[in-house]
Structure 1
Amino acid sequence: MNYYISDLHLFHEASIRFDNRPFGSLEEMHEAVVSRWNNKVNNGDTVYILGDMSMRGKKEDLISLVATLKGKKILVKGNHDDVSDYRYKQLFYDICDYREIHDSYGGKNYDLVLCHYPIFSWKGMNRGTILLYGHTHNSAEDVYFQKCLAGMEENDCRHVGDKPIQAYNVCCMKPWIDYEPRSLKEIIENYQNIK
């Protein structure tokens, strides 16, 4: 099974206040993240972390915490990811800036573009390729990005026969993610139920 999540910002105390996260301390946030992650993910699963796993990659505590997270972890680097510490780097199956993959659910196959940053125009977007991204948290920037994509749909900026544009923010604080790695099915269905 593939799972997706971004912007955990482990060991970044200001993220609790900045994102209005429902935790009283970093310890409480870390405990919730580890518990939700490990109750869901098996070691045979792959978790794509779309950036900003933490603020730094050199702290002993961070290395210890990330080592406890189950699954094959693939880090799509964000602006806060420091992977210069070899010990930290070894906790990930792969580290990249951008990834194109395939996933499926409900008997259908999907092409995905994975990037930390929202992309205004991505490969295959008019053919049904789904963009999963992070970075923008619960910001006005994310609202504007989604409005731009909706405007493209509404103003016939696409060609006849093009498929609907799909881009999902997988930041951990989004209600359809709720601090837990999510499958593509969960992301799409939870997003549609909340919106």
Structure 2
Amino acid sequence: MNYYISDLHLLHKNCIRFDERPFEGLEEMHETILTNWNRKVTDSDTVYILGDAAMYGKKEKAIELVAGMKGKKVLVRGNHDYFHDEQYLQLYEEICDYKEIEDTADGKEYRLVLFHYPIFRWKNMGHGTILLYGHTHNSLEDDYYQGCLDKMAEEECSRHIYESKPQAYNVGCMKPWMNYEPRSLEEILNWEQGQEL
């Protein structure tokens, strides 16, 4: 099984206030994230972390936290992923800046683009390929981005012929459909269609 999540911001105290995360402090946030993660993910699963896994500067604690998360972890680097410590980097199966994969949801195959940042154009965006991203948290910036994608599809942007509406989903852990746990593609798509997780 593949799972996706972004913007954990482990060890980043300011993110609690910035995102209005429902935690008293870092310990409670870390405990919630690890409990949710390990309740769901098995060692044979792959979790794609789409950036900003942990704040740099506290490598021993970052190693302890990430090592305590089950599964094979792939890090698609974000703007806070500055670790150069070999012991930390070895906790990941792969570290990259951008990734294209295939996954299945409800028995259907999907092509995915995985990137930390929201982008306006991605490979086959109007032909069913889904962008999963993070970075924008709960912000007006994310609302504007989603609104712009809607407008591009409505006006049939002259540079693309859309077979389907472009689909881009923010998998930041603080989003309601993520609720501080990795989610499968099926869960993400079902939430978008109004189904409860």
2:63 is the counterpart of 1:67: no
**In structure 2, what is the equivalent of residue 177 of structure 1?**
178
**In structure 1, what is the equivalent of residue 154 of structure 2?**
154
Cα deviation digits, residues 34-74 of structure 1 (max 9, x gap) = 00000000000000000000111652111011101000000
**In structure 2, what is the equivalent of residue 167 of structure 1?**
168
Instruction: Look up the equivalent residue of 1:105 and give its one-letter code.
Output: A
For the Cα contact (< 8 Å) 1:58–1:88, is it kept in 2?
A: no
In 1, distance between residues paired with 2:57 and 2:18?
A: 21
Q: How big is the shift at 1:188? A: 1.1
Greater shift in the superposed pair: 136-145 or 161-170 = 161-170
In 2, distance between residues paired with 1:139 and 1:19?
A: 9
In 2, distance between residues paired with 1:143 and 1:110?
A: 24
Q: 1:160 to 1:61 in 2, by over 3 A?
A: closer
**In structure 2, what is the equivalent of residue 44 of structure 1?**
44
Cα deviation digits, residues 23-43 of structure 1 (max 9, x gap) = 001000000000000000000
Determine helix, strand or coil for the equivalent of 2:194: helix
Q: What's the TM-score once normalised by structure 2's chain length?
A: 0.95
Moved over 6 A (4+): none
**In structure 1, what is the equivalent of residue 93 of structure 2?**
93
For the Cα contact (< 8 Å) 2:153–2:162, is it kept in 1?
A: no
For the Cα contact (< 8 Å) 1:58–1:85, is it kept in 2?
A: no
**In structure 2, what is the equivalent of residue 189 of structure 1?**
190
Q: How big is the shift at 1:191? A: 2.8
Unpaired runs of 5+ in structure 1?
none
Q: How many residues in Structure 1 have an aligned counterpart in Structure 2?
A: 194
In 2, distance between residues paired with 1:142 and 1:161?
A: 22
In 1, distance between residues paired with 2:164 and 2:88?
A: 40
In 2, distance between residues paired with 1:57 and 1:98?
A: 24
Cα deviation digits, residues 141-169 of structure 1 (max 9, x gap) = 11110010000121122655612210000
Q: What's the TM-score once normalised by structure 1's chain length?
A: 0.96
For the Cα contact (< 8 Å) 1:117–1:133, is it kept in 2?
A: yes
Instruction: Look up the equivalent residue of 1:39 and give its one-letter code.
Output: R
